[in-house]
C-alpha cells in the first residue's frame, strides 16, 4: 500500500513539473526596444507565470515582475548568470546583441549553449532576412555564424529572419525634412519592417511552438523601398519637394567621420548601403502578414508619424 501511494505521489509531482516546464518561455533583452514589445504581446497569449525574462538590470524589469513575470539577472558575457536565468526553460528566445563581429557571435554562442544546457526544447533567435556569410554589411555574417552554431546544438531551433527595422528610416532622412535633400550613398531596396509587427510575430511563434523549424521565410512588410521611394513618400506627406541626392561613398564617409561618427561605425554604415545596392535586403514575403492576420505597418505610416511630430 505504501509503495503504491509513493508511486502515485511521484507521478503527481512529475506531472506538475512537466506541466510547469511546458509553459516556461524565457526572453532575453526584455527591457530593450524589441524584447519589451515581445514580452508585452506574449503576455496576451500565455499566463504570466509561464514567462521569464533574462535581463542585465533587473531593476528595469520591476514592472514585469509586478505583472507576475519571472525576472532574473542574465548577461551574455557572464555565462554563469545565464544558467540561473534559463533554469526550467522549455523555450528560450535570444534577442541578438547590439555588438558586432566576434564579440557578438561569442555572446550569442554563450546564450545558445546556456539554453541548450538548461534543457530548452526549442531555442529561438532574432536573426535578419539578409543573414549571409558573404554580406557586405557587418552584422549579417554575425547572424549567419549564429544560425550555424544553432544548427549544430541538436536542439530544435527557429531563426527569425526579421526585416530591416523601419526605425532606421528616421536616421537616414537626417535633415532632409529641413533641407529638402536626402543625401546618402547609392542604395537599393530594403524590406523596412517595424519593431511592433516583428514583436507580435515573435509572440505568436512563441505561443505556438514548432511552427517553424530552422530559419523562417523573410518576416517582412510586403514591399521593399529604396531612398528615392522614401524621398517620394516624404514629399507626398509634407507637400514639400524632397530630392534624393546620391553622395560619393568616400566623401560621405569622410563627412560622417568629420561630424563625429567613429570611423569603424561610419564604414559599417557604408557597408549597409553597399549591401542594399547589391540587393541583399530586397527579399520580401507574405509570412509576416500571414502570422499577424492583418497588414504590416507601411513605411508611409512610419513617415506620417515623423512628419506630423511638432
Half-sphere exposure of 64 (CA within 13 A, CB side): 33
Is residue 134 packed enough to be buried (19+ CB in 10 Å), middle (13-18) or exposed (0-12)? exposed
Query: Per residue in 262-307, pLDDT tens?
Result: 999 999 999 999 999 999 999 999 999 999 999 999 999 999 876 6
> Do residues 273 and 267 touch, judged by C-beta distance below 8 A?
no
> Do residues 122 and 87 touch, judged by C-beta distance below 8 A?
no
Query: Per residue in 115-149, pLDDT tens?
Result: 999 999 999 999 999 999 999 999 999 999 999 99
> Going from the N-terminus, what domains does the chain have, and what CATH number goes with each?
11-162+194-221+283-296 (3.40.50.720)
> Do residues 27 and 205 touch, judged by C-beta distance below 8 A?
no
Query: Per residue in 189-219, pLDDT tens?
Result: 999 999 999 999 999 999 998 889 999 999 9
SS3 call for 144: helix
Is residue 75 very low, low, confident or very high in pLDDT (cuts 50, 70, 90)? very high
Amino acid at each position: 500500500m505504501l509503495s503504491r501511494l509513493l508511486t502515485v505521489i511521484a507521478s503527481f509531482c512529475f506531472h506538475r513539473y512537466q506541466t510547469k516546464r511546458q509553459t516556461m518561455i524565457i526572453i532575453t533583452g526584455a527591457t530593450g526596444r524589441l524584447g519589451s514589445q515581445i514580452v508585452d504581446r506574449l503576455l496576451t497569449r500565455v499566463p504570466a507565470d509561464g514567462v521569464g525574462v533574462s535581463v542585465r538590470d533587473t531593476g528595469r524589469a520591476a514592472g514585469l515582475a509586478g505583472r507576475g513575470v519571472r525576472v532574473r539577472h542574465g548577461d551574455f558575457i557572464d555565462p554563469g548568470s545565464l544558467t540561473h536565468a534559463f533554469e526550467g526553460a522549455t523555450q528560450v528566445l535570444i534577442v541578438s546583441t547590439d555588438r558586432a563581429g566576434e564579440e557578438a557571435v561569442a555572446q550569442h554562442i554563450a546564450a545558445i549553449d546556456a539554453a541548450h544546457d538548461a534543457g530548452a526544447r526549442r531555442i529561438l533567435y532574432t536573426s535578419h532576412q539578409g543573414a549571409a556569410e558573404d554580406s557586405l554589411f557587418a552584422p549579417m555574417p554575425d547572424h549567419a555564424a549564429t544560425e550555424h552554431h544553432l544548427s549544430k546544438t541538436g536542439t530544435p531551433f527557429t531563426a527569425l529572419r526579421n526585416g530591416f527595422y523601419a526605425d532606421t528610416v528616421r536616421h537616414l532622412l537626417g535633415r532632409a525634412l529641413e533641407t529638402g535633400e536626402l543625401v546618402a550613398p547609392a542604395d537599393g531596396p530594403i524590406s523596412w519592417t517595424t519593431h511592433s509587427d516583428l514583436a507580435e510575430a515573435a509572440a505568436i511563434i512563441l505561443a505556438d511552438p514548432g511552427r517553424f523549424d530552422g530559419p523562417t521565410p523573410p518576416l517582412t512588410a510586403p514591399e521593399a523601398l529604396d531612398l528615392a521611394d522614401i524621398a517620394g513618400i516624404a514629399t507626398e506627406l509634407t507637400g514639400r519637394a524632397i530630392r534624393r541626392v546620391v553622395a560619393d561613398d568616400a566623401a560621405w564617409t569622410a563627412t560622417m567621420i568629420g561630424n563625429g561618427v567613429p570611423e569603424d561605425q561610419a564604414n559599417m554604415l557604408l557597408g549597409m548601403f553597399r549591401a542594399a545596392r547589391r540587393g541583399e535586403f530586397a527579399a520580401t514575403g507574405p509570412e509576416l502578414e500571414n502570422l499577424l492576420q492583418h497588414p504590416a505597418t507601411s513605411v508611409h505610416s512610419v513617415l506620417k508619424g515623423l512628419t506630423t511630430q511638432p
